[in-house]
């Protein structure tokens, strides 16, 4: 018999807000010393009250709109009770009754073609802390840096049917949420986490099989392996009766390549949800809703399409720039100033990207002022600054956001002077210093002239129109 | 008998006492529970900051019943305060009566402040929910918890209300300043002209009944129209409030686990035993019963049938009061069933805090303001408490 796999995902994404969801502690503690980003509120001490970070609701709405969801204009927070040492108040504030976004749709593309994945809901909630087990001391330490860091949980309908689709779906979520600058979605950093609900049924059946939930996959590769393992386990159980499938939560062990049922203690029974009386319902009025809608970016494929058809970029260039909304915005700003899309794209792909790489920054971390880049490109295309010096200016712009290209060029003597007297003098000196190259050139080796050209350019510190220098050099040698 | 939990030296003339539900910096706050024995907060209650800024000096912390949900404080882990006849005494009221403090600042979670004021011949005001910050109060039932004032006179209550009411950014349910300003002394006072006595609530002993009757006589003598009306919905506040309060309480006290602060059992071999034994040893019987009841109301099985229904009852009662306030300026009802409680009766009937709050639950569940004195309480519409206090002041003057 042939089987099909039915998969629904619960994806947690850490929102990229500066502060936590209910207090003013910094939400960014990746790599920080334990318990340095905490206050009485996020440590669950009695007497502190939650104050909703409006930015979290902004981001929740943005995520909802990017995934084509309906936004609940009155959205509420609820308490979810469970004991765990990393949860200092013994409840998590989440959204149970009226989540910020519902009924969305995400389109994915795989080798099988395009497919729509329905989103059941997106809710906002606070993260828990972390337990750090010290094997040598046989103790467990608790770190509350992560408590109350804002998350969204994106719950899909069981519309996925293969590891390939799951990968495409996760990549799509990542692309869309990054475009909206809502979340980093980096599994390796823990800013995207994914639980897989999976069942298996005979192909064509409309009845769902026994569903298991798998946790603890730390990479997309691990998720794919887990799905393949779990699918095979289910089919084996159905066909060979090797075991009885039960609805349960299982932990994926990526080293062993197997899933294990979690102890019942780790999977709380009844969460006893109820509306949090300390958080008033959040009412999203038209003005707020409209401002969020207006702030949304175009989708990556819309950008690519626009760059190739309207701006005449190659497919490759469009693809490269559309990888990040930060690159897109920088490129579009640069183009709006310099007026040459091809030039702007070349600068983005060669110089800007290599500067980012050299600084070990991701594309999304680009903060370069695109308008300033456009000005720099204009200085080069207008023969005001040589290309080598322009690269130096760009480097300075990366180091200091306040650098203005034209001013910096002037201050550092990078402006091309059309002082032909100086150029003539330098040419004469360099030609006289290298009679062999002149002889070679005259003997038919055209390339021999390049050595002299380079020396002239260096002597002039790059501040000359390359074409003019070349012409004048050839004229001078020919006149000898 | 020690009414103070902690005594504080203050040189200021306007001395106030806080019950042990208000967090104080540098001074322990226990909520009357062994679980928080020795707990010193990192921050102080917003109301205490405001009162200090207004020139009031804290002279001490008064003992309070465990999580302030009992009758008068008899469940404190330090033991019940009783007189030689077995009558339960309330620490805050005793401290005011002794002249040590002009007023007490207390958390009214289940009506103890109103019962104490009514039984001691003092005045208490439970202001409109949201007009006084709950920042720095040990949470009990957050949807009803209200910082209240107990004092010798209505005018003292007004002075303190004036100093502590106001919007607070640290409390997400705090109302805007424009609303809080209605509690200030500068706000206009509405004359109370029509009062309703709900006869369904008059199930109290003769002493309280005669207190009600004597107040009605005084009001009528002052030209206030008093109607005796029937209403069987308001009294349903009690059951609904017991559900909501217990559920919220259960959730709020689940953070006390013996790990992070407060009491920790010496008797454990695993983390689960540490939790279980710390809670078993530190929590009192009445609180444990409330936790069990509250937890049950929130179970998946019971949520819609019990908790959600209580929320719907709350809404109906709010609407019912809304209707009453179209015709009346205030509703009069007893504050307690008797003018004194004996410790023996309470020990024999451990449920008493869940029955005696028949009178206090209506204002707790709706967040309406209430003024209690001489066995009775007056409940009025939101933001009208200064009108009630003005009426009370007038009655005080006539009495003298
Ligand atoms: Zn914090």
Residue B298, chain A, CB below 8 Å: the answer is yes
**Mutate which of B25, B138, B139, B147 to disrupt the A interface (most A C-beta within 10 Å)?**
B139
Q: Which of chain B's residues have a Cβ under 8 Å away from the Cβ of A144?
A: none
CA of B390 to nearest chain A CA: how many angstroms apart? 31
CA B122: distance to chain centroid? 14
Residues in CB range of B224: below 8 A, 6 or more apart? B192, B193, B194, B195
- Taking residues B187-194, report their average pLDDT: 94
Coil/strand/helix, residue A143? strand
Question: How large is the average pLDDT for residues B9-34?
Answer: 95
Of B42, B43, B255, which is closest to A88 when you measure between CB atoms? B255
Residue A194 C-alpha from the chain's centroid: 17
pLDDT of residue B90: 98
Q: Is B257 on the interface with A (CB under 8 A)?
A: yes
Nearest to A49 among B143, B170, B260 (CB): B170
pLDDT at A420: 78
Distance between CA B324 and CA B333 in Å, rounded? 14
Query: Is residue B135 within 8 Å of residue B164, measured between CB atoms?
Result: no
Q: Let me know: does B163 contact B51? Beta carbons within 8 Å.
A: yes
For A229, residues 6+ apart whose C-beta sits below 8 A from its C-beta are A257, A258, A259
Angle at B106 between CA B103 and CA B107, to 5 degrees: 160
Q: Residue range B180-202: average pLDDT? A: 95
Size of the A and B interface in Cβ pairs below 8 Å: 84
Residue A137 has pLDDT above 80, yes or no: yes
The span from the CA of B264 to the CA of B258, in Å, is 4
Cβ contacts of B294 on chain A, cutoff 8 Å: none
| Average pLDDT taken over every residue of chain B | 96
| Contacts with A263 from chain B: Cβ below 8 Å | none
Residues 6+ apart with CB under 8 A from A37: A25, A26, A27, A28, A29, A145
Does the beta-carbon distance from A274 to B307 stay under 8 Å? Answer: yes
Q: Are A322 and A300 in contact (CB under 8 A)?
A: yes
Residues 264-293 of A with CB under 8 A from B: 270, 272-275, 277-280
A440-475 residue pLDDT tens: 888 888 888 888 888 888 888 888 888 888 888 888
Note the pLDDT of residue A267: 54
Give me the mean pLDDT over the A320-342 stretch: 96
pLDDT digits (tens, 9 = 90+) for B284-310: 999 999 999 999 999 999 999 999 999
**What's the confidence (pLDDT) of residue A266?**
55
Query: For residues A124 and A95, is the Cβ–Cβ distance under 8 A?
Result: yes
What was the pLDDT predicted at A440? Answer: 87
DSSP lists the bridge partners of residue A150 as A126
CB atoms within 10 A of CB B24: 21
Q: What is the 3-state secondary structure (H, E, C) of A284-328?
A: CCHHHHHHHHHCCCCCHHHHHHHHHHCCCCCHHHHHHHCCCHHHH
Work out the minimum CA distance from A123 to partner chain B, whole angstroms: 20
Asked whether residue B65 carries a pLDDT value surpassing 60, the answer given is yes
Nearest to B173 among A46, A91, A278 (CB): A278
Question: What percentage of residues in chain B have a pLDDT greater than 90?
Answer: 97
Contact of A452 with A470, CB cutoff 8 Å: no
The reported pTM is 0.90
Among A44, A90, A274, the residue with its CB nearest the CB of B247 is: A274
Round the CA-based radius of gyration of chain B to a whole number and report it. Answer: 20
Residue B166 Cα, ligand 1 centroid: separation in angstroms?
Answer: 24
Residue A84 has pLDDT above 60, yes or no: yes
Closest-CA residue of chain B to A23 = B170
A151: left (phi over 0), alpha (psi -120 to 50) or beta: beta
Question: What pLDDT is recorded for position A464?
Answer: 80
Residue A343 pLDDT > 90: yes
| SS3 state of residue B167 | coil
- A31 pLDDT tier (thresholds 50, 70, 90): confident
**Band of pLDDT at residue A308, cut at 50, 70 and 90:** very high
pLDDT at res. B10? 85
pLDDT in tens, A261-300: 987 655 557 899 999 999 999 999 999 999 999 999 999 9
pLDDT at B28 over 80: yes
The pLDDT-based confidence of A242 (bands split at 50, 70, 90) is: confident
Contact B207, B83 (CB under 8 A): no
pLDDT at B400 over 70: no
What is the per-residue pLDDT across B324-368, written as a single tens digit (0 to 9) for each? Answer: 999 999 999 999 999 999 999 999 999 999 999 999 999 999 999
ipTM over the 0.90 cut-off? yes
pLDDT of amino acid A386: 87
Distance of CA A427 to the CA centre of its chain: 51
CB contact under 8 A, B41 and A50: no
- Domain ranges for chain A: 3-286, 299-411, 420-479
Q: Which DSSP state fits A22?
A: S
Would you state the pLDDT for residue A457? 85
As a whole number of Å, the CA-based R_g of chain A is 30
Q: What is the mean pLDDT of chain A?
A: 93
pLDDT value for A478: 86
Residue A459: the pLDDT is 84
Q: What are the residues whose beta carbons fall under 8 Å from the beta carbon of B324, sequence distance 6 or more?
A: B196, B231, B331
- Interval A385-425: pLDDT, tens: 988 899 999 999 999 999 999 999 999 988 887 677 888 88
pLDDT at A76 over 70: yes
Work out the pLDDT band at A241, boundaries 50, 70, 90: confident
Residue range A420-479, CATH number: 1.10.10
**What domains, with CATH codes, occur in chain B?**
4-399 (3.90.1300.10)
Q: What is the pLDDT of residue A303?
A: 97
Q: Does B246 touch chain A (CB under 8 A)?
A: no
């Amino acid at each position: 018999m042939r089987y099909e796999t039915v998969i629904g995902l619960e994806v947690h994404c850490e929102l990229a807000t500066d502060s936590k969801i209910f207090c003013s502690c910094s939400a960014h503690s990746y790599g920080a010393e334990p318990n340095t980003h905490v206050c009485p509120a996020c440590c669950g001490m009695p007497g502190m009250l939650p104050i909703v970070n409006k930015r979290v609701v902004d981001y929740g709405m943005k995520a909802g709109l990017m995934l084509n969801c309906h936004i609940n204009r009155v959205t509420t927070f609820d308490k979810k009770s469970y004991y765990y040492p990393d949860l200092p108040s013994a409840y998590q504030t989440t959204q149970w009754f009226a989540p910020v976004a519902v009924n969305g749709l995400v389109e994915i593309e795989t080798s099988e073609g395009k497919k729509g994945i329905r989103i059941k809901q997106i809710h906002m909630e606070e993260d828990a802390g972390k337990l750090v087990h010290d094997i040598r001391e046989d103790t467990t330490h608790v770190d509350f840096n992560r408590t109350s860091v804002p998350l969204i949980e994106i719950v899909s309908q069981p519309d996925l049917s293969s590891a390939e689709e799951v990968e495409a779906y996760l990549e799509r979520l990542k692309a869309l949420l990054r475009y909206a600058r809502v979340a980093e979605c980096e599994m390796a950093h823990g800013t995207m986490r994914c639980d897989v609900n999976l069942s298996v049924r005979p192909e064509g059946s409309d009845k769902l099989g026994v569903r298991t939930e798998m946790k603890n996959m730390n990479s997309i590769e691990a998720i794919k392996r887990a799905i393949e393992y779990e699918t095979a386990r289910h089919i084996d159980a159905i066909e060979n009766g090797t075991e009885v499938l039960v609805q349960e939560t299982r932990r994926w062990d990526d080293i062993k390549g197997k899933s294990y049922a979690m102890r019942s203690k780790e999977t709380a029974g009844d969460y006893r949800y109820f509306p949090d009386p300390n958080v008033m319902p959040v009412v999203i009025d038209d003005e707020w809703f409209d401002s969020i809608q207006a702030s949304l970016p175009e989708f990556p494929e819309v950008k690519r399409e626009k760059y190739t058809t309207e701006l005449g970029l190659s497919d490759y260039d469009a693809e490269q720039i559309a990888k990040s909304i930060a690159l897109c915005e920088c490129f579009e700003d640069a183009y709006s100033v310099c007026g040459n899309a091809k030039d702007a794209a070349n600068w983005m792909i060669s110089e800007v990207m290599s500067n980012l790489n050299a600084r070990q920054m991701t594309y999304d971390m680009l903060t370069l002022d695109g308008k300033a880049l456009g000005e720099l490109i204009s200085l080069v295309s207008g023969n005001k600054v040589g290309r080598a010096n322009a690269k130096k200016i760009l480097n300075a712009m990366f180091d200091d956001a306040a650098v203005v290209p034209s001013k910096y060029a002037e201050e550092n003597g990078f402006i091309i002077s059309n002082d032909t007297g100086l150029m003539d003098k330098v040419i004469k000196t360099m030609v006289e210093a290298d009679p062999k190259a002149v002889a070679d050139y005259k003997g038919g080796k055209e390339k021999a002239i390049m050595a002299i050209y380079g020396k002239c350019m260096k002597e002039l510190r790059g501040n000359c129109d390359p074409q003019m220098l070349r012409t004048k050099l050839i004229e001078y040698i020919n006149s000898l | 008998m020690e009414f103070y939990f902690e005594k504080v030296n203050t040189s200021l003339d306007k001395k106030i006492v806080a019950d042990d539900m208000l967090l104080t910096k540098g001074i322990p706050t226990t909520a009357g529970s062994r679980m928080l024995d020795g707990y010193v907060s990192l921050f102080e209650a917003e109301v205490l900051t405001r009162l200090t800024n207004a020139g009031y000096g804290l002279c001490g912390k008064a003992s309070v019943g465990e999580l302030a949900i009992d009758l008068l404080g008899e469940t404190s882990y330090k033991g019940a305060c009783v007189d030689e006849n077995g009558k339960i005494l309330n620490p805050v009221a005793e401290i005011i009566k002794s002249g040590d403090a002009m007023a007490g600042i207390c958390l009214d979670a289940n009506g103890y402040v109103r019962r104490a004021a009514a039984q001691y011949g003092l005045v208490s005001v439970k202001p409109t929910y949201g007009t006084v910050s709950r920042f720095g109060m040990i949470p009990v039932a957050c949807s009803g918890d209200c910082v209240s004032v107990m004092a010798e006179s209505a005018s003292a209550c007004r002075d303190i209300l004036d100093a502590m009411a106001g919007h607070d950014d640290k409390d997400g349910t705090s109302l805007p300043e424009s609303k809080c300003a209605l509690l200030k002394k500068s706000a206009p006072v509405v004359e109370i002209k029509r009062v309703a006595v709900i006869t369904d609530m008059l199930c109290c002993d003769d002493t309280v009944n005669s207190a009600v009757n004597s107040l009605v006589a005084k009001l009528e003598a002052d030209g206030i129209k008093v109607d005796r009306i029937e209403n069987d919905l308001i009294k349903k506040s009690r059951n609904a409030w017991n559900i909501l309060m217990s559920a919220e309480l259960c959730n709020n006290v689940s953070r006390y686990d013996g790990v992070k602060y407060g009491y920790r059992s010496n008797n454990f071999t695993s983390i689960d035993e540490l939790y279980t034994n710390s809670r078993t040893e530190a929590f009192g019987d009445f609180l444990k019963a409330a936790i069990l009841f509250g937890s049950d109301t929130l179970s998946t099985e019971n949520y819609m049938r019990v908790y959600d229904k209580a929320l719907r009852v709350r809404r109906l009662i709010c609407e019912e009061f809304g209707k009453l306030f179209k015709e009346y300026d205030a509703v009069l009802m007893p504050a307690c069933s008797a003018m004194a409680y004996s410790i023996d009766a309470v020990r024999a009937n451990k449920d008493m805090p869940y029955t005696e709050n028949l009178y206090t639950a209506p204002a707790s569940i709706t967040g309406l303001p209430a003024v209690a004195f001489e066995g009775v309480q007056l409940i009025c519409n939101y933001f009208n408490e200064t009108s009630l206090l003005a009426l009370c002041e007038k009655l005080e003057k006539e009495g003298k």
